[in-house]
């Protein structure tokens, strides 16, 4: 909030960075966090920082795929219900145990699904094809080829194989594979802990009833949700008054817990704009204007060597800034390779008017209709109109210089969630 009224020429391109330049400025100044060995449950969603190699074969032992009898294939070759082979039962191969004894010629062992196949046996005859006669004898009615119903050692993975390549994100199947292969603490890029704070004398928490003129803090929660969606760990530092000392105190109190900071508000031109007043003179954070609407004023730099994102205050500007600048940067810190949202080309169902000289991010609802995408604006352009974001699933990019994108024209749309959600 600025005390002095000031005039913005919202259409002036001079002195503005392009969105690409501003994004490059941010991305070139953030690096992946140093890798850590994390337990699997913490490593979920993180990116592997090295190739993970198999230290042994998987499965580690040959096991039975059926309940039945482990035998030598040569002993049952040609067996049929009319011409069964009678074998002597010499034991039981139990799941979870090394078999006691071996299977010799004319012998067999009971075997359970998943139990190690005893030495000597090379095939399992399922229980359905067995006619058990007391404790010691069985007649087998089928003579499968060697290897039938046996899961061989190393069938899945060989020792030395790459289980997980460096750069791969650990999802559900990767966690299972690493656990199974005996890698309980993979080396990954950790999730950044990001301190989130809102600046503004007018703000109250959403749990309070605002006095006239006060505003419930929206931005901390938008930022929280965006960070969670990225896989980062928000640390909520709350509301900070428009007071340089309070802001600095909060930042330095939380610094120990942080890999990055995001504040909203207080980055415009006024001397009273608190983020600017706190960090501009120190030279840690640059404040600049980007040729975009919403989201023109931006601050970015480093405080205590940690990235600091000074976002504008208006709630829609916050959302767009998160999508355009913060998300790619946080993903880069997490070692992710694909930093940008998917885009589709869609047909506008209504005219969108744009500011001259700025790239407009228009909130739209994108739908897939027959074999093409349509985009319908969810409301007016004002950067305070937060419900227009909640109704949208995409940001249509109306290029600088386009004052009117008429109904029926094609636009590029960044999809920030699937249309079903
Ligand atoms: P500022 O950039 O601090 O001047 O804020 C611009 C506008 O955004 C003002 O109308 C603020 O009241 C509003 N605003 C700033 N921060 C928040 C917030 N956390 N939640 C909702 N509105 C905010
Ligand atoms: Mg403010």
- pLDDT tens-digit series, residues 116-132: 999 999 999 999 999 99
Residue identified by tokens 């020429």 is 9
Reduced to 3 states (helix: H, G, I; strand: E, B; else coil), residue 108 is strand
Q: Residue 13 — very low, low, confident or very high, per pLDDT cuts 50/70/90?
A: low
Task: Give the pLDDT score at 271.
Answer: 62
Among residues 58, 180, 70, the alpha carbon closest in space to that of 115 is found at 70
| Mean pLDDT over the full length of the chain | 94
279, 282, 382 from 304: Cα distances, Å: 11, 11, 35
Is the backbone peptide bond immediately before 332 cis, with ω within 30 degrees of 0? no
Count of CB atoms within 10 A of residue 296's CB? Answer: 23
Count of CB atoms within 10 A of residue 20's CB? Answer: 11
From atom 16 of ligand 1, which residue's Cα is the shortest distance away? 313
- Kindly calculate the radius of gyration of the chain based on its CA atoms and give it in whole angstroms: 32
Task: Give the pLDDT score at 7.
Answer: 35
CA end-to-end span of the chain: 35
pTM for the structure as a whole? 0.90
Are the C-beta atoms of 103 and 90 separated by less than 8 Å? Answer: yes
What's the rounded Cα separation, in Å, for the pair 153 and 155? 6
Task: Give the pLDDT score at 12.
Answer: 45
Residues with CB under 5 A from ligand 2 (ion): 1, 200, 265-266, 313
Tell me which H or E stretch contains 306. strand 306-311
| CA of residue 312 to ligand 1 center, whole Å | 8
More confident residue, 284 or 241: 241
Task: Give the pLDDT score at 9.
Answer: 38
Tell me which H or E stretch contains 274. helix 274-279
In a mutational test of the pocket of ligand 1, which residue from 265, 277, 311, 383 has the highest number of ligand atoms less than 8 Å from its CB? Answer: 265
Q: Residue 356 — very low, low, confident or very high, per pLDDT cuts 50/70/90?
A: confident
Residues 6+ apart with CB under 8 A from 90: 101, 103, 104, 107, 108, 109
Ligand 1 shell residues, CB under 6 Å: 1, 198, 200, 202-203, 215, 217-219, 264-266, 268, 312-315
Is the pLDDT at 418 greater than 90, yes or no?
no
Is the pLDDT at 23 greater than 80, yes or no?
yes
The ligand 1 atom at the shortest distance from the C-alpha of residue 317 is 8
- For 217, left (φ over 0), alpha (ψ -120 to 50), or beta? beta
What's the rounded Cα separation, in Å, for the pair 63 and 99? 11
Task: Give the pLDDT score at 280.
Answer: 72
From atom 4 of ligand 1, which residue's Cα is the shortest distance away? 1
The ligand 1 atom at the shortest distance from the C-alpha of residue 264 is 16
Ligand lying closest to the C-alpha of residue 242: 2
């Amino acid at each position: 909030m600025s005390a002095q009224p000031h005039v913005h020429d919202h259409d002036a391109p001079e002195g503005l960075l392009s969105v690409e330049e501003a994004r490059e400025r941010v991305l070139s100044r953030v690096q992946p966090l140093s890798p850590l060995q994390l337990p699997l449950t913490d490593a979920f969603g993180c990116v592997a920082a090295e190739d993970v190699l198999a230290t042994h074969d998987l499965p580690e032992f040959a096991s039975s795929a059926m309940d039945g009898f482990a035998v030598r294939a040569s002993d049952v070759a040609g067996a049929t219900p009319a011409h069964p082979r009678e074998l002597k039962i010499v034991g039981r191969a139990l799941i979870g145990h090394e078999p006691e004894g071996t299977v010799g010629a004319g012998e067999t062992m009971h075997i359970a699904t998943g139990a190690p196949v005893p030495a000597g046996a090379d095939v399992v005859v399922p229980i359905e094809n067995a006619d058990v006669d007391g404790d010691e004898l069985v007649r087998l009615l089928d003579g499968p080829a060697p290897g039938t119903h046996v899961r061989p050692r190393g069938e899945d993975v060989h020792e030395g194989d790459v289980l997980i390549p460096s750069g791969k994100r650990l999802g559900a199947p990767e966690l299972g594979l690493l656990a199974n292969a005996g890698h309980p603490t993979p080396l990954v890029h950790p999730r950044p802990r990001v301190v989130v704070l809102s600046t503004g004398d007018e703000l109250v928490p959403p749990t309070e009833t605002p006095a006239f003129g006060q505003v419930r803090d929206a931005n901390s929660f938008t930022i929280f949700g965006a960070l969670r969606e990225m896989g980062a760990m928000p640390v909520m530092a709350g509301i900070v008054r428009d007071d340089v000392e309070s802001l600095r105190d909060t930042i330095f109190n939380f610094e120990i817990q942080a890999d990055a900071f995001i504040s909203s508000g207080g980055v415009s031109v006024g001397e009273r704009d608190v983020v600017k007043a706190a960090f501009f003179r120190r030279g840690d954070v640059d404040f600049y204007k980007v040729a975009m609407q919403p989201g023109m004023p931006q601050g970015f730099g480093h405080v205590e060597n940690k990235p600091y994102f000074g976002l504008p205050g208006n709630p829609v500007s916050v959302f767009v800034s998160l999508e355009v600048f913060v998300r790619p940067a946080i993903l880069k810190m997490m070692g992710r390779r694909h930093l940008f949202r998917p885009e589709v080309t869609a047909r506008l169902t209504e005219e969108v008017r744009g500011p001259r000289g700025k790239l407009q991010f228009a909130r739209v609802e994108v739908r897939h209709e027959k074999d093409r995408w349509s985009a319908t604006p969810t409301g007016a352009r004002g950067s305070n109109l937060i419900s227009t974001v909640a109704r949208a699933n995409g940001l249509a990019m109306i290029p600088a210089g386009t004052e009117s994108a008429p109904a029926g024209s094609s636009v590029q749309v960044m999809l920030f969630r699937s249309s079903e959600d």
